[in-house]
Amino acid sequence: MKRNFSLLFILVSLMAFGQIEEKKLDELIQNTLKTFDVPGMSVGIIKDGKMVYAKGFGVNSLTANQKMNGYTLVGIASNSKGFTATALAILADEGKLNFDDKVTKFLPEFRMYDPYATQEVTVKDLITHRAGLGLGQGDLMFFPEGGNLTVNDIIHNVRYLKPEHSFRNTMDYNNIMFIVAGEVIKRVSGLSWAEFIEQRILQPVGMKSSFGNYNRAKAAGVKNIIDAHAPVDGKVIQVPHDWNETADAAGGIISNITDMGIWADFLMNGFTTKDGKKLVSDKQIQQLWNLQIATPVALKNAYDSNFGGYGLGWFLTDVKGHKQVYHTGGLIGTVTQFTLIPDMKLGIIVLTNQQSGAAFSTVTNTIKDAYLGIEDRNWLKTYGDRMTKMNADFEKGKKEIFAKSEAFKKEKSQHPKPEQFVGTYTDAWFGDVVITQQGKIYRVQAKNSPRLKGELLPYTHNTFIAKWDDRSYDADAFVIFTYDEAGKATSAKMKPISDITDFSFDFEDLDLQRTK
């Protein structure tokens, strides 16, 4: 494999491609790593069925310090959603399900908060983000990694998620419904989601280095794999890998640019493998890549797009008159982007081991512009300046909040007493959140998410700040108590202290009622 790898990259380095110079792209990627403090990135371009660019830059880990290359495995996160949709399409072609089948046909125990939605929600609804749940609603059941809830627990708890939108009225990105879809695949096929993806998609397509999830890759003894990295106190550090197997169907796959290039070619050639086997019928492809629910598009935008929205497992839009099929993926410490312009036979893959979306957007947009014949718009400067300002604003806001907390500490007469709020609070879908006193400090711990723990800092007479022990989360949150007439807390709500917080930390959806 190493010999073939070397030959491939010698050939690639000698090839000209598209309308962007290889040296110029190399330099852009190197500068992108520096600008956004990304330890490693791999970039692939497939054009007209050929991988015309496939390179790794930087290192796969600040600890291991091995060079990133075309075979370095990265968690592709939500780019896995396209595989979940493809798996369902395969089962549909086999007559084992229909996208319009009710979910309860396969999961009789499935319930949503609204009885009408329970009766009507279909397999298609699961993978279009239109079932009524809000952005990231319920994600705390599997995020961050290390939670205690099983897939069956999550499916059961969906009934407690009060929808933020009317059924089928609004697209709001949500992972939980994809977990439900993964269980449909398991019930219908008899294989786990990861087994089905590997046996029925990855292997036939020729993605020989890819796995259904991180643990399966590690169990196979893979060494060329990234570590995750995130900024903490202004410095990027290595952080634990973050993905829970319960959410494989929403984002479990681990792959590299070589295999993702093969995936791109397969998709753009009518879902047909190199040996001529068509895995998905045109009838099903039409559903996958047709707009199922629309989202607003700015009247003025960088690519003169006229429409936007979601198909089945894919985002869809138009760029300069060409249909674009794409997705992004993000975990704590890694983000990825996968872009197809099928009528141009163009695919762009960017995989990183840091969580800067601006980094992958810089590279993808520059490559895309070159092939669309657009003069260099210096996306590096645009995104670099934007992120510098945004990060400064975020840091300023957080510092002001913690400064207010420090000032409040000195006003001890206003502090709530421990007997007023120390205790156990329970949310129907998330479980217990326990607040304790340990000497002079207070601690908060989520029972079903052991890594979600930290110190409670007083902020006002009824509000504390949950300062999480794992500082890579960047998700500190207000805990706001409601007191009864005797001054004892009866419930609590939460919300992030900063807009920088990832939407999967969906604290705002918690309804914590005191039980002890």
Cβ atoms 273, 205 nearer than 8 A: yes
Coil/strand/helix, residue 515: coil
For residue 145, give the CATH number of its domain: 3.40.710.10
User: Residue 167 belongs to what domain range?
Assistant: 2-377
Question: Which of 377, 401, 421 lies at the terminal end of a domain, its last residue?
Answer: 377
Confirm whether 403 is domain-assigned: no
Mean pLDDT over 13-17 rounds to: 39
Task: Calculate what percentage of the chain has a pLDDT beyond 90.
Answer: 92
The 10 Å Cβ neighbour count of residue 347 is 25
What single DSSP character describes residue 356?
-
Show Cβ contacts of residue 359 under 8 Å, excluding neighbours closer than 6 positions. Answer: 32, 33, 35, 36, 38, 41, 335, 350, 352, 383
pLDDT digits (tens, 9 = 90+) for 216-238: 999 999 999 999 999 998 899 99
Q: Quick one: pLDDT at residue 279?
A: 98
DSSP letter string over 43-72?
EEEEETTEEEEEEEEEBS-TTT-PBP-TT-
pLDDT digits (tens, 9 = 90+) for 371-386: 999 999 999 999 999 9
Q: Are residues 319 and 452 in the same domain?
A: no
Burial class (CB in 10 A: 0-12, 13-18, 19+), 15: exposed
Q: Quick one: pLDDT at residue 458?
A: 95
Q: Are residues 96 and 241 in the same domain?
A: yes
- Print the SS3 string covering 152-214: HHHHHHHHHCCCCCCCCCCCCCCCHHHHHHHHHHHHHHCCCHHHHHHHHHHHHHCCCCCECCH
Number of domains observed in the structure of the chain: 2
Alpha-carbon span 390 to 394, nearest angstrom: 6
Alpha-carbon span 330 to 314, nearest angstrom: 15
Alpha-carbon span 217 to 208, nearest angstrom: 12
Q: Quick one: pLDDT at residue 145?
A: 86
Q: Are residues 372 and 429 in the same domain?
A: no
CA distances from 384 to 221, 359, 379, 477 (A): 38, 9, 8, 27
Pairing of strands 346-352, 423-427: unpaired
Q: Are residues 351 and 463 in the same domain?
A: no
Q: Are residues 415 and 320 in the same domain?
A: no
Q: What angle do CA 243, 249, 253 make, to 5 degrees?
A: 60
Q: Are residues 255 and 314 in the same domain?
A: yes
pLDDT digits (tens, 9 = 90+) for 460-493: 999 999 999 999 999 999 999 999 999 999 999 9
Alpha-carbon span 72 to 70, nearest angstrom: 6
Task: Calculate what percentage of the chain has a pLDDT beyond 70.
Answer: 96
Q: Quick one: pLDDT at residue 94?
A: 98
pLDDT digits (tens, 9 = 90+) for 47-74: 999 999 999 999 999 998 899 999 999 9
Mean pLDDT over 307-322 rounds to: 98
Q: Are residues 269 and 373 in the same domain?
A: yes
- Indicate if the pLDDT at residue 3 is higher than 50: no
Amino acid present at 446: A
Alpha-carbon span 470 to 453, nearest angstrom: 8
Cβ atoms 497, 481 nearer than 8 A: no
Question: Which of 377, 393, 428 lies at the terminal end of a domain, its last residue?
Answer: 377
Using CA atoms in the order 159, 160, 165, 170, what is the torsion angle rounded to 10 degrees? -50
Question: Which of 377, 400, 422 lies at the terminal end of a domain, its last residue?
Answer: 377
For residue 449, give the CATH number of its domain: 2.40.128.50
Burial class (CB in 10 A: 0-12, 13-18, 19+), 98: middle
pLDDT digits (tens, 9 = 90+) for 156-202: 999 999 999 999 999 999 999 999 999 999 999 999 999 999 999 99
Strand partners, 23: none
Q: Quick one: pLDDT at residue 19?
A: 66
Question: How does residue 18 score in pLDDT terms, banded at 50, 70 and 90?
Answer: low
Peptide bond into 144 cis (omega under 30): yes
CA distances from 257 to 29, 42, 50, 140 (A): 15, 7, 13, 30
Confirm whether 397 is domain-assigned: no
Mean pLDDT over 29-40 rounds to: 97
Confirm whether 91 is domain-assigned: yes
Q: Are residues 7 and 100 in the same domain?
A: yes
Confirm whether 392 is domain-assigned: no
Confirm whether 400 is domain-assigned: no
Q: Are residues 205 and 250 in the same domain?
A: yes
Report, in angstroms and rounded to the nearest whole number, the Rg of the chain calculated over CA atoms. Answer: 24
Confirm whether 203 is domain-assigned: yes
Q: Are residues 415 and 366 in the same domain?
A: no
pLDDT digits (tens, 9 = 90+) for 405-461: 999 988 877 788 999 999 999 999 999 999 999 999 999 999 999 999 999 999 999
Cβ atoms 20, 379 nearer than 8 A: no
Alpha-carbon span 395 to 214, nearest angstrom: 33
Q: At 443, list the tokens.
A: 């601690």
What single DSSP character describes residue 412?
G
Q: Quick one: pLDDT at residue 4?
A: 38
Strand partners, 102: 122
Greatest alpha-carbon span in the chain: 77
Q: What angle do CA 415, 500, 408 make, to 5 degrees?
A: 15
Confirm whether 431 is domain-assigned: yes
Show Cβ contacts of residue 285 under 8 Å, excluding neighbours closer than 6 positions. Answer: 89, 270, 271
Q: Are residues 372 and 314 in the same domain?
A: yes
Q: Quick one: pLDDT at residue 16?
A: 42
Q: Are residues 417 and 336 in the same domain?
A: no
Q: End-to-end distance of the chain based on CA atoms, in angstroms?
A: 59
pLDDT digits (tens, 9 = 90+) for 442-454: 999 999 999 999 9
- Indicate if the pLDDT at residue 146 is higher than 90: no
Cβ atoms 151, 102 nearer than 8 A: no
Show Cβ contacts of residue 250 under 8 Å, excluding neighbours closer than 6 positions. Answer: 78, 80, 81, 84, 175, 176, 178, 179, 182
Confirm whether 268 is domain-assigned: yes
